[in-house]
Amino acid sequence: MRDLLPVELRPCRGLAPRLATAIRERGVITRLLCGVALQVSPPLVVTEAELGRIGSVFADALDAGLS
């Protein structure tokens, strides 16, 4: 598991909608909230591996969206 370290975020207009689409295309159901936040609702019963997959998908989409 990766450590979460504080980072400075710079505004990136239109990033959230692109991320929502990229994450869905990678198989994780998410939705855009107020145009600026992403929400994911894993099942009530979820394995550690499944949570890791969700995290990896978010990380991959962020890496692709910010590059």
What is the structure's pLDDT at 45?
Answer: 93
Q: What is the pLDDT of residues 20-34, one digit of tens each?
A: 999 999 999 998 888
Average pLDDT over residues 32-44: 85
Q: Is residue 28 part of a domain?
A: yes
Q: Under 8 Å CB-to-CB from 66, ≥6 apart: which residues?
A: 12, 15
Residue 1: pLDDT over 60: no
Q: Is residue 27 part of a domain?
A: yes
Burial (CB count <10 Å: 0-12, 13-18, 19+), residue 32: middle
What does DSSP assign to residue 14?
A: T
pTM score, whole prediction: 0.72
What is the structure's pLDDT at 11?
Answer: 65
Q: Is residue 8 part of a domain?
A: no
Q: Range of 46's domain?
A: 15-66
> Number of folded domains in the chain?
1
What is the structure's pLDDT at 64?
Answer: 85
Q: Is residue 6 part of a domain?
A: no
Q: Is residue 10 part of a domain?
A: no
Q: Is residue 62 part of a domain?
A: yes
